[in-house]
Structures are given as structure tokens and as C-alpha cells.
Amino acid sequence: MTESLGVNDTFPRGGRRLSDPAVNAVTGELVGRKAYLVGTGHCVPDRVLTNKDLEQIVDTSDEWITTRTGIKERRITNDQTSTSDLAIVAVEEALEMAGWGPKDVDCMIVATVTPDYIFPSTAAIVSDKLGMNNIPAYDFEAGCSGFIYGLIQAKCFIGSGMLDRVVVLGAECLTKITNWEDRTTCVLFGDGAGAAAIGPEGPGGELGGWHWGSDGSLGDLLELPAGGSRKPASKETVKANEHTLRMKGNETFKYAVRAMRDSCLKALDMDGTPKSEVDLLVPHQANYRIIDATARALELRPEQVYVNIDKYGNTSAASIPMALDEAVRKGEVTPPKNVVLAAFGAGLTWAGMLLKWKEEEGL
């Protein structure tokens, strides 16, 4: 009979030995470990599609797009580039910053609505190409909230002692599911990937309070109608452009503002951190007006909000990790600093998280 492992044992996972959660020396109770963001990376395609370029495709204008969204340009993949291609580069950058090798990674999580295939998973493809075979690797879909959903999962894995090092990815090729005849949506989206390396030790930003949720009754506000089991691909669905995304913009906007605000405030409340102590907001880059409304709810000044929507547009799950990586590499995330992430997306879903860089810690 196999002897069960106690909380003080080390145990193998895939031929490696992982550290345990801490045990309180007085009570003997299991104490969850902290999780830290120790590396970031991102990748975007080379091709730039400007608002002026879009004027030649649909009935729109640079002024109309900029005024309503804050977007000036976005990045577009070519026919040979897939989501995993962008993801691989982003992971390599995150590992380099973290000082990890591929064999140090215990799990790969990919948030995406545009996987290479329905199956195999994009996570499995990325981990294979980077030499990370034999680890758990999976995709999940939570729309634009996906990256924060992934951070929450990583925090739980590491806090429980189940895993030591997790890579969380948000990666998308949204322009491959864009209807280029729909002037209301084709101006919004771009392609890119962002990655984060999460481990049990700093230096880095501690994953703090968080909040997440969903409301499936609002799913029709932002959807991809065909291609699943409800409406499989057919000549009719292709002809009707039902394999491209659709959005009810005005209604989505109203819910997005509320969801972004509430996610931030509830994450801060869980952490016990007042909004007056927030130093930087890194929001989902969907629409500048939504970003501005979220910042005002937190009583933040414009310089306390990281915005790159003008360069990349809405990249869904890749949006926050791309912006966070830029902010880190520009030196805008230096300790001590409290950074709030907030997102909403198809589902509808929403999520928020506080990252805490302390004085003695930093990337």
C-alpha cells in the first residue's frame, strides 16, 4: 500500500521536486505561500495598420476612430503567423527577465479566444516548441479578462504548494476573426501576446487581492456566433460572416465601465488596501473612455494610468500583459508601488488584481 504524503514531505511532479507550502510552527496549520510576478515579456507583429489605412477599407476616418476609442494604429499578423508564434517570443522574454530556463517551468496557462486550433491547445504547442514537455499546459477562454483569470489561477497553484513556477500568457490574433466590412468593429482590434512568469519568491510584484466574475446572460453583447457545437461551420455560416466577432458597442460600454470600476475596488478591498494607495492602473486597453472612467473611479491622475491603446488597439487577453511589460521595461513599475489591473470581456467576464512591489523588491 502506498504511504500518503504529509504536509512536510517534498513530492515529485514530472520528475522535479517542488517546495511545500509553509507550516505554522506553533499550530501546525498549512500557510499559503505568496506568489510573485518575476518576469514579463510581449510580442507584436511587425505590420502596422493605421487609421489612415482603414479609411481606404471602410467608411471611417482617423478623427472618428481616435475620438471614440483613442486608437491610432494596431498590429496585424500575416497569413503565416499564428497565436503560438507570438506567444513563444513573449514567453522567452519573460523567462529571460525571471532568470528561468524552460525546464524550470511547472505549468503553462494560455488565455486566448484565438487559439491555433480548437485542439491541440496553444499552450501545449508553445510548451513543446520551448522544450517544456511533460508539464501541464492548457488553454482557457475568459475573453479580455483572461490574463487576470490566469494570474488568479497561478496564485492559487503557488499558494497551495501544488506548483512552484507558472507561466501565464494572454495571446491573440484577433484580426483573423475580424469582419473587415464592419466599420464599428474592424477599427478596434489588433494582434499580440504578453506573458508573465509567476513564482513563490521575489524580487517582483506580489500578487495581492483579486476579484473575478461573469454574467452569461449578457453573452450576446460580444460574441462569435458560429464555429462551436451550437452552430457548426457550414456554407451558410461562412456566407453570413458568422465566424467573425460581433459586438453591441453601446450596451457593452455601459457594463464595461461598471465592471472595471467594481473589479478594482473589490480587489483592493480584499487586500485591505485603500484606493488612495494605488500608484498605477494598468487596465485592459479596449477604449480610452472606459479607461478614463475607471481611473476617475479610483481618483487617479492621468499620469497614474498606463495607456498604449493608441499603438495596439484592443488585443483582448494580451492587452494587460503587453501594457504591463511595457510599463516594467520603461521603469514605471519601481518599488514601492501598488499596481492595479482591471479588465472586462466576452462572457461577459470581469476581473481585477492588485500587484504590490515593495521597497526591497522589484523586477
Under the banding of pLDDT at 50, 70 and 90, the label for residue 359 is: confident
Amino acid occupying residue 253:
F
- Residue 24 annotated in active site: no
C-alpha distances (whole Å) from 113 to each of 144, 214, 318 are 9, 16, 10
CA–CA separation, 97 and 168 (whole Å):
14
Q: Calculate the average pLDDT of the chain.
A: 92
Given a contact cutoff of 8 angstroms between Cβ atoms, the answer to whether 215 and 344 are in contact is no
What is the model's pLDDT at position 238? 97
What mean pLDDT is predicted for residues 53-65? 97
Q: 42, 284, 287, 338: which is the annotated catalytic residue?
A: 284
DSSP state of 24: -
Task: Specify the number of domains making up the chain.
Answer: 2
Higher pLDDT, 9 or 206: 206
Residue 301 in any domain: the answer is: yes
How many Å apart are CA 298 and CA 261, to the nearest integer? 8
CATH of the domain at 263: 3.40.47.10
Measured CA distances, 204 to 39, 67, 72, 83, 279 (Å): 8, 37, 32, 27, 16
For the ranges 34-43, 210-219, 303-312, 353-362, the lowest mean pLDDT is seen at: 353-362
Residues 256 and 306 placed together within one structural domain of the fold: yes
Residues 160, 101, single domain; the answer is yes
**169 within some domain:** yes
Pairing verdict, β 137-140 and 166-173: unpaired
Domain region containing 121: 36-202
Q: Where are the alpha helices (DSSP H) in the chain?
A: 51-55, 62-69, 83-98, 122-129, 146-160, 235-239, 249-271, 288-297, 309-312, 319-329
- The answer to whether position 164 is within a domain reads yes
CB 346 within 8 A of CB 144: yes
Integer Cα distance of 114 and 108 in angstroms: 17
Residue 303 within any structural domain of the chain? yes
Catalytic, out of 43, 107, 144, 173: 144
- Map residue 165 onto helix, strand or coil: coil
Span 35-48, pLDDT tens digits: 999 999 999 999 99
Integer distance in angstroms from the first to the last C-alpha of the chain? 46
183 and 307 share one domain: no
Whether residues 178 and 76 share a domain: the answer is: yes
Task: Convert the pLDDT of each residue in 286-333 to its tens digit.
Answer: 999 999 999 999 999 999 999 999 999 999 999 999 999 999 999 999
Domain boundary among 174, 202, 230: 202
Residues 181, 213 within the same domain: no
Parallel, antiparallel or unpaired: strands 191-199 and 36-43: antiparallel
In this structure, the answer to whether residues 266 and 153 fall within a common structural domain is no
Active site residue 42: no
Instruction: Say yes or no: 97 and 189 in one domain.
Output: yes
Same domain, 131 and 43: yes
Q: Can you tell me which residue has the cell 488553454? A: 139
Residue 216 and residue 195 share a domain: no
Asked if residue 109 is part of any domain, the answer here is yes
When pLDDT is cut at 50, 70 and 90, the band that residue 32 belongs to is: confident
80-132 pLDDT, tens per residue? Answer: 999 999 999 999 999 999 999 999 999 999 999 999 999 999 999 999 999 99
pLDDT score for 202: 87
Q: What is the pTM of this model?
A: 0.92
Q: What does the pLDDT average to over 222-248?
A: 97
- Residue found by looking up cell 482603414 in the block: 54
Asked, for residue 190, whether it belongs to a domain, the answer is yes
**How confident is the model over 43-58, as a mean pLDDT?**
98
Clarify whether 243 is annotated catalytic: no
Please report whether residue 233 resides in a domain: no
* Cα→Cα distances 80→44, 180, 354, Å: 14, 19, 37
For range 253-274, the mean pLDDT: 96
Is it the case that residue 179 has pLDDT exceeding 80?
yes
Q: Which cell numbers in the block locate residue 312?
A: 495596439
Q: Quick one: 118 and 261 in the same domain?
A: no
- Indicate whether 154 and 122 sit together in one domain: yes
Structure confidence at residue 126 (pLDDT): 98
Share of the chain above pLDDT 70, in %: 90
45 plus 170 within the same structural domain: yes
Residue 235 covered by a domain: no
